[in-house]
Amino acid sequence: MRTHVTISPLRWVAWIGPLLLLLAACQPASQDNASGETQAETAAVAAAVAPEAAPCELNVGWDPWEPYSFETVGGELAGMDIELVRAIADEARCTLRFKQGKWRDLLAALRVGQVDVLMAATALDDRREYAYFSEPYRSELFVQLVRSSDAEAYAGKTVGELAKAGKTIGLTDGYFYGDQVHELLGDETMRDAFLMAAVPELNYRRLVDGEVDVVVGDPYVATAILRRTGNNSAVTRLDGDVISGPVSLMYSRDSVDAKTVERMDAAMARIAPKLEAIRARYLGGDG
């Protein structure tokens, strides 16, 4: 236990004053400069490695996308992206609030600053008009999934070839599937080949029910949905990737400043091994 002792002001001056004079007389002049330089160097190092202390609060939009973001049976928010963004924010000393929605609606909310951050975003030029992008924090993959009975007939064919052959392709509204699919969607003669879903799970329900012939989706998300709905054996992944590449955190220019983005990026760099461990736990080291 610490004990507090009161010393009268007069007695304090009487004994501390001469002591300070003695210490000053014994201090070499050159040491003052050295001490100042050392303190400056220490402060610089601390600034480089320590998270900012200024208040930081971010509203994070999320859509159900197991294993990246989902609610557990107990109502807890979980998933790889949730863990990753929480770890980064903890290191940056930022407070997060999560808002659920459909991806297309969340994009619109981010444009006007109603949502500050979205996860798993591709850094596209048109999005840069209203958003900042972090350094990539993981990679993403989209593949073609078909009914198992059609796998042999569709093998080796691209999305474009299947669309031109009269097959219906299921996509999720607002997702980016690469330049090839983007160009097909922009072709008026091909638009009817694509059926948009508000949420990924609807795509796989339509696939099993025969409403679409192909779904372009993330294989890990597909596995989670098909396992939960008992349709594992009904759907098969075709060989080859539709698109693969890095994804980032996307920040609203309307509600987040560039310094906050830099702060989160610096935190991400500091805990890179921890983030890799989270990705490996979900994806076996493939993410």
Residue burial 243-275, b: 16+ Cβ < 10 Å; e: rest: beeebbbbbbbebbeeebbebbbbbbebbeeeb
pLDDT at 51: 47
**Confidence (pLDDT) at 33:** 47
| pTM of the complete model | 0.78
Q: Tens digits of per-residue pLDDT, 240-262? A: 999 999 999 999 999 999 999 99
Coil, helix or strand at residue 54: coil
Amino acid at 229: T
Fold of 140-245: D-Maltodextrin-Binding Protein; domain 2 (3.40.190)
**Mean pLDDT of the 111-140 span:** 97
CA angle, residues 35, 36, 40, in degrees to nearest 5: 115
Across 32-41, 42-51, 72-81, 278-287, the highest mean pLDDT is recorded for 72-81
> Would you list the DSSP string of 71-133?
E-TTS-EESHHHHHHHHHHHHHT-EEEEEE--HHHHHHHHHTTSS-EEEEE---TTGGGTEEE
The residues spanned by each domain of the chain are: 57-139+246-283, 140-245
Q: How confident is the model at residue 283 (pLDDT cuts 50, 70, 90)?
A: confident
d(CA 232, CA 210): 16
How is 143-156 classified by DSSP, letter by letter? Answer: EEEEEGGGHHHHTT
Q: What is the CATH number of domain 57-139+246-283?
A: 3.40.190.10
Are the folds of 57-139+246-283 and 140-245 the same?
yes
